[in-house]
Chain A
Amino acid sequence: MPRDSIGLLGKESPEDEIAAAIDWARRSPLHRSRLLEYLPQQHPLYRERSANEVIRIRGYLFESFRHNGLPESALPFVLEALETGRSAYLVAGAAIAIRGLPAPRPEIIPYLLKAVSNMKFEDDAISFETYKPRWPLTNTTTALMEIFRTFQWMGSAALESVVQLKELCLDSYFSQDVRAEIRKAISVIEDGARSGCCEWPVSKRLRRTSFRKRKRLTAEIAGLRLEDHDGHTMTFGEYFIDEPALVVFFYTRCDNPNKCSLTITRLGQLQKALVDAGLEGHVKIAAITYDPTYDQPYRLDSYCRNRGMLLDDQNRVFRLETGTPDLLRYFDAGVNYIGSIVNQHTTELFILDRDGNIANHFQQLQWNVSEVIDQLRKQVRKRRPASAHSVVTRLRDLMSPLLSLVITFFPKCPLCLAAYVSVLGITNIHLLQFAHQLLPVFVALLFINPLSLFMGAERRNGLTPFYLSLLGAVCVAVFGLWMDARMLAYIGTGLILTGSLLNSLDRDKFAWIKERWLVLG
């Protein structure tokens, strides 16, 4: 495999060449970033390949991230496979890929649990030892086994899933081998949780929406002719004008119940929520098929109505007689084809402004109704003067990061609580009448924080947080107690808190900060 061809894979590349490129990147972690460009479903690499071939490539690609690390930008694709995947090979590859993250993240748990429910009746024997293996194979694994091994890898970060795992352990639909993996996961998680809370990362919200640069509607797209479920035709520009709009893509022949069928069902729920939110009549809704040849108006009509979607002048489902590829290019839709048949697609939702321009979109992960309504409300409010209500909304928006900060610093175990009390006690000891008698206790407790950071240094973010905390403790002890220089003691307190905060950040974020700001360690 020539090194340079890894970035040149495309529609014509034979599968063996693709597998060789992935194998090569697996052995050379420095080149993993070159695999990232193959993650979007619309990449030409997937054109004119069967759905199973696409699954083979993506599953193998996902699995390789375990060996050379899973970058943040690849995470939504991996989580999407866990959330909606119905193929054991793809889901197993995604579950294994999670173990390539720098550190476990609790927000992954719902996706792993969804994958368990997706795979419960679809589990299969698989192998990643070679690409396109020839059966019979002896050394196989299964998707469920790999999901529960990922729970084991999560350790104490998966503490919130223990109750569900214990329930799953009693479920007779799982084999003895799978249940053994669940029991092992429970034990690893509980053991990890007993060792302390200081290694817990700050929970980072998964990015579900992309506010990329606004995309302007072109004359070519505005002129595309749409045919709705009733057979009425109109141009794109005629329909998507005057009011903000919401667009989803789907096709009626999709055989994954977690994708198109669910998208249209949820669109029906969104329509009801829009009525409750008072946005009915202010927003247009459109579902557009990926498969216009097969999806004739009568098929679109019955498919959408059967899933609870309301169809009227404001809410329509469309097909394009011609120009579907142009429209998909405009939306940069995550879809690919073999002939006229869709071979893979993502779940996506677009919000258009009053002029038909793409304002933002939700891609990869299933969108949730309240997030979409928030975005739509913003579009509806545009061109209206700011009101007192918007000030309240902004204040409410500020509350979320503030709350995260409070949670970060809130002592989560008795030892941390003792360390915090000690810091505050020493720096303000002059205010307390009999506190000097407790001085030795305060000093001992003061050094618990650096000690816990030192012990957890290997698992977490190295020795830098420890050095900061130690320096802070020494400042508090020396300046606060011995020299009575309270200002310097407060700086020491700040250093202890900074050390704790850096320790609780995930490795990627910490590495970024360290690279730019820190000279210590």
Chain B
Amino acid sequence: MIDKDEYIKRTQEQVTAHEKAIENGLSKLRSTQNSTEYKAALQAIPSVKEVEDVRKGMQLLTNKQEDTEVRLLVLRKARSAIGRNTEYIRDCFLIVQDTDDQVELRRAILSVLGAFSFGSREFVPLRPEYMTLLRSLLDDPDALIQERAAEELAKEKDEYVQRRLLDGLAGREQPIVPTAKAIQLLGYDIHAEHYPVVRKILEDPRSDETTKVEAIHVLGNDAQSRDLLTALMTDKQQPIEVRMTSATAMKTSNPDYFTHLAKSIVLDEQEEPDLRAVCLNAMMHQSDPSALYADDDFVQKLTKVRSLTTSDALKQQSTGFLTKAMRHKPKG
């Protein structure tokens, strides 16, 4: 076991060495004019905080001729200081907007701006400028920047991005993001007019599984899609992922009807065991499952299912259900 004084001494030495390294890094950052040394200096320091250092960092960040790695390091180390200064945030807007600038840096800055948008007090007055920037990025040559801008705007339920996404889905213009992503982003706002378009996509046999799953997630909020979701949930030809997502969506939108369908799926020995387990689990997570536990006929049949099934998942869910049913049984 290490001696206490020795331990304190070693720790102090480590702290001093670290502080010295930071000091050296900062002094190098202040004095050097060379990209390699900037890199080494920035790597040595945990963050850039002092006003003069941040200013120097911003000169590096806004310099298009500077090495990308140096600029990314500045962004990482001076991030907090940038978020506290509206002018520096505006400089970041300009970099992201500049399609001639390094795409890797533009993407990184866009992520940082996304974090500032809900965590920085200084960002609040800049919101209109930020929204303008994001809208202009929907036509950016970089697909990832386009998608990230669309995502940020969709979270704000922005009218313009919804319009562009819908036009893309309906084939009225070149889509700005892939179909599955567009459906997911439109789903952030239940008040958007996307349900008819999404229903059409879900019904289209050419739609891939990922797109269908996204569409089902979104349509879970739409009462008019009940029949379609029912058909998918009970159609044994559909991929299991599609059927399980439909079951979960049904449970949200129409819990009573879901219970009715789920009971027959759980008891059907020809059904996929995973789907049966998912349905049983969802039934137990209803707001008031006491009526379900009181259904003696179902409980009896489920006891039989538990003893016959070879699926671990279904066995486990059945045991859970039957235990709860026992607890809910009236005493005496």
Contacts and interface: CB of A to CB of B under 8 A. Distances in A.
A341 B221 contact: yes
A52 B192 contact: yes
A255 B191 CA distance: 10
B33 interface: no
B128 A52 contact: no
Contacts of B162: 50, 52
Given A50-B193, A135-B138, A298 B254 contact: no
Interface string A37-76: 0000000000011111101100000000000000000000
Interface majority SS on B: helix, strand, loop or mixed? helix
B191 A50 contact: yes
B224 A135 contact: no
Interface in A467-496: none
Contacts of A413: none
Interface stretch (A173-181, A193-201, A355-363): A173-181
B241 interface: no
Contact of A135 (B125, B136, B287): B136
Chain A: number of interface residues, binned into ranges = 35 or more
A505 to B, nearest CB: 39
A175 B126 contact: yes
Given A53-B193, A121-B124, A296 B255 contact: yes
A172 B124 CA distance: 9
Contact of A137 (B129, B132, B159, B195): B132
Given A52-B162, A123-B127, A296-B255, A253 B190 contact: yes
Nearest to B193: A50
Contact of A294 (B126, B135, B136, B253): B253
Chain B: number of interface residues, binned into ranges = 35 or more
A306 B270 CA distance: 44
A339 B128 contact: no
A122 B44 CA distance: 40
Given A293-B254, A338-B191, A52 B157 contact: yes
A337 to B, nearest CB: 10
A140 interface: yes
Contacts of B159: 52, 55-56, 87, 89
A123 B126 CA distance: 9
Contact of B223 (A124, A176, A340): A340
B189 to A, nearest CB: 7
Contact of A49 (B132, B138, B193, B222): B193
Interface string A68-103: 000000000000000000011100000000000000
Contacts of A451: none
Given A142-B128, A298-B288, A52 B191 contact: yes
B191 A135 contact: no
A123 B224 contact: no
A403 to B, nearest CB: 43
Nearest to A53: B193
Contacts of B191: 50-52, 255, 338, 341-343
Name the 8 nearest CB pairs between A and B, nearest first: A51-B191, A50-B193, A175-B125, A340-B223, A135-B135, A298-B287, A136-B136, A125-B128
Interface of B: 121-122, 124-129, 131-132, 135-136, 138, 157, 159-160, 162-163, 189-196, 221-224, 253-255, 287-288
6 contacts: A56-B159, A124-B131, A136-B135, A137-B132, A175-B125, A339-B195
